[in-house]
């Protein structure tokens, strides 16, 4: 037909012009196209190879195109691509069993979602239902991130997302974070800052009345906002919420699956850190297929066992995704990637502390638990003054990121933070070469001023 002839002669629509890109100013979006990958490397359409130091969005923990993931997805696709939750699917059952065993949540249940934001939303919904407080308040914290759907955005304590929604309309309250480098409570000691931040949560519960609070939702370790809670924080939070009959939800979307040196970050504190619910996504499938989950303790699960659950999307617990999840969990275990992350993470932390000795701009080096390091850049390490107000990225840091990319290394930056979260399969040599590059670029873009 005439229409077909017209389409055939038109130039193809470029991604830049046709797609509305997330978290972008459309007119500025101009990213290179990725055609493939291997290990910690991304392959670009123009033939370049880029070392990925952030696992994309801190999600590709197994690197790119992990052969086991590819094989598992292919095998599942050949057998059964999809059935809804109205039907059983073996990979869903297998993945739930493995998650409950790994986390020690025996007797609990797993609710599968399509990603992190709907895991946050459903965790809140389930927590309210199980508490018998359908409109109960949820306490989250400033400088946190829980996703970009409406409730998840309201939960996120992020200055940019806060402006888009009204947390109060969703029953969400925010408290100050356990940010030891700039302690909101004025503490000089990190553990004291962590305890004060946990006390701020219990004070807030007491002010609202525990009967009116359904849950506390927090990230137990490092996240996009670069807060790494002191050791004292999470166990204190656990005690305060348990004492008050308020559920504790650990948002483990970014921190689980080796990222923070454990299967689940709260496990660093042993049983003293066990939450009532936890949310998962990202590393759950090594990001190969979208999947999220809410894991419920036995106590939470039993309370809703005989009630209708008004939750779920068409693709929740998609068999392809669950098959990828089973393969991912097997790969983390068989390749000792949790232990590897812990070992490489503490070596990386030691190297970064050395780098800090040579670069005044490195005000704070956070992490040390697994392959997740946060570098906070400052204009003056003595006063801790920032180059630009949070969450602006100082111009020299943007230039540093561009220069790294030109040298084949992709770095994640948020405000004045560099987040180093490479795939757990990254080679030691690749990591040390990248650190040497960072050292050179810090000298180039932030020459030390005489003290």
Interface characters, 45-64, with ligand PLP (x: CB under 6 A)? ------------x-------
- DSSP one-letter string for 21-40: -TTS-GGG--PPPEEEEEBT
SS3 state of residue 362: strand
Nearer to ligand PLP, 121 or 276 (CB): 121
Nearer to ligand PLP, 148 or 347 (CB): 148
Contacts of 352 (CB under 8 A, 6+ apart): 362, 365, 367, 373, 375, 420, 435
Nearer to ligand PLP, 62 or 437 (CB): 62
Strand ranges inside 104-212, DSSP E: 109-113, 137-141, 172-175
Q: Does 316 bind ligand PLP (CB under 6 A)?
A: no
Nearer to ligand PLP, 294 or 442 (CB): 294
- DSSP one-letter string for 195-256: HHHHHHHHHHHHHH-GGGEEEEEE-SS--TT-----TTHHHHHHHHHHHTT-EEEEE-TTTT
Count, residues near ligand PLP per rule CB under 6 A: 15
Instruction: Copy the structure tokens of residue 139.
Output: 């306490």
SS3 state of residue 332: helix
Peptide linkage before 391 cis (omega within 30 of 0): yes
Interface characters, 223-262, with ligand PLP (x: CB under 6 A)? xx--------------------------x-xx--------
The piece of 34-42, 116-124, 259-267, 269-277 that touches ligand PLP (CB under 6 A) is 116-124
- Shortest Å distance, C-beta 410 to ligand PLP: 17
Tell me which residue of 264, 306, 330 sits closest to 95, measured CA to CA.
330
- Shortest Å distance, C-beta 443 to ligand PLP: 31
- Shortest Å distance, C-beta 188 to ligand PLP: 28
Nearer to ligand PLP, 151 or 329 (CB): 151
Options 145, 266, 315, 445; binder of ligand PLP; rule CB under 6 A: 145
- Shortest Å distance, C-beta 407 to ligand PLP: 26
Tell me which residue of 269, 257, 286 sits closest to 372, measured CA to CA.
257
Nearest residue (beta carbon) to ligand PLP:
116
Q: Does 120 bind ligand PLP (CB under 6 A)?
A: yes
- Shortest Å distance, C-beta 401 to ligand PLP: 19
Q: Does 111 bind ligand PLP (CB under 6 A)?
A: no
Q: How far is CA 9 from each of CA 4, 12, 16, 53, 192, rounded to the nearest angstrom?
A: 9, 9, 20, 41, 68
Tell me which H or E stretch contains 176: none
* Residues from 276 through 295 that contact ligand PLP (CB under 6 A): 281
Q: How far is CA 246 from the centre of its chain?
A: 24
Q: Does 325 bind ligand PLP (CB under 6 A)?
A: no
Nearer to ligand PLP, 147 or 171 (CB): 147
Nearer to ligand PLP, 152 or 296 (CB): 152
Instruction: Copy the structure tokens of residue 405.
Output: 């990319």
Taking every pair of Cα atoms in the chain, the longest distance, rounded to a whole number of angstroms, is: 75
Q: 267 with 221: CB under 8 angstroms?
A: no
Nearer to ligand PLP, 311 or 343 (CB): 311
Interface residues with ligand PLP (CB under 6 A) are 57, 115-117, 120, 145-147, 219, 223-224, 251, 253-254, 281
């Amino acid at each position: 037909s005439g229409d077909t002839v017209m389409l055939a002669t038109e130039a193809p629509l470029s991604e830049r012009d046709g797609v509305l890109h997330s978290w972008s100013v459309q007119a500025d979006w101009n990213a290179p196209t990725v055609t493939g990958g291997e290990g910690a490397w991304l392959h670009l359409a123009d033939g370049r190879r880029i070392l990925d130091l952030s696992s994309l969005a801190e999600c590709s923990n197994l690197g790119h195109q992990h052969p086991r993931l590819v094989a598992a997805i292919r095998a599942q696709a050949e057998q059964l691509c999809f059935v809804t939750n109205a039907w059983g699917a073996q990979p869903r059952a297998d993945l739930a069993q493995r998650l409950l065993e790994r986390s020690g949540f025996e007797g609990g249940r797993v609710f599968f979602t399509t990603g992190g934001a709907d895991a946050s939303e459903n965790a809140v919904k389930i927590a309210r239902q199980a508490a018998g407080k359908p409109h109960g308040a949820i306490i989250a914290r400033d400088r946190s991130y829980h996703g970009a759907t409406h409730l998840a955005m309201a939960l996120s304590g992020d200055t940019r997302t806060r402006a888009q929604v009204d947390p109060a309309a969703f029953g969400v309250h925010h408290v100050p974070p356990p940010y030891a480098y700039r302690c909101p409570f004025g503490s000089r000691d990190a553990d004291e800052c962590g305890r004060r931040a946990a006390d701020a949560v219990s004070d807030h519960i007491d002010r609202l009345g525990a009967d009116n609070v359904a849950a506390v939702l927090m990230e137990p370790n490092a996240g996009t906002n670069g807060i790494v809670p002191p050791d004292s924080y999470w166990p204190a939070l656990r005690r305060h919420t348990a004492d008050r009959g308020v559920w504790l939800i650990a948002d483990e979307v970014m921190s689980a699956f080796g990222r923070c040196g454990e299967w689940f970050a709260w496990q660093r504190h042993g049983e003293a850190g066990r939450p009532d619910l936890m949310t998962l996504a990202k590393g759950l499938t090594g990001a190969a297929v979208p999947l999220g989950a809410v894991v419920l303790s036995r106590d939470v699960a039993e309370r809703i066992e005989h009630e209708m659950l008004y939750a779920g999307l068409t693709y929740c617990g998609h068999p392809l995704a669950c098959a990828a999840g089973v393969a991912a969990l097997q790969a983390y275990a068989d390749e000792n990637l949790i232990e590897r992350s812990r070992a490489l993470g503490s070596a990386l932390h030691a190297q970064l502390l050395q780098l800090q000795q040579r670069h005044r701009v490195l005000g704070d080096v956070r992490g040390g638990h697994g392959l997740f390091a946060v570098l906070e850049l400052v204009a003056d390490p003595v006063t801790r003054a920032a180059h630009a107000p949070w969450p602006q990225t100082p111009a020299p840091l943007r230039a540093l990121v561009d220069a790294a990319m030109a040298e084949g290394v992709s770095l994640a930056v948020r405000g004045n933070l560099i987040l180093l979260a490479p795939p757990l399969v990254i080679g030691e040599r690749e990591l040390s070469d990248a650190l040497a590059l960072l050292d050179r670029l810090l000298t180039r873009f932030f020459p030390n001023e005489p003290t």
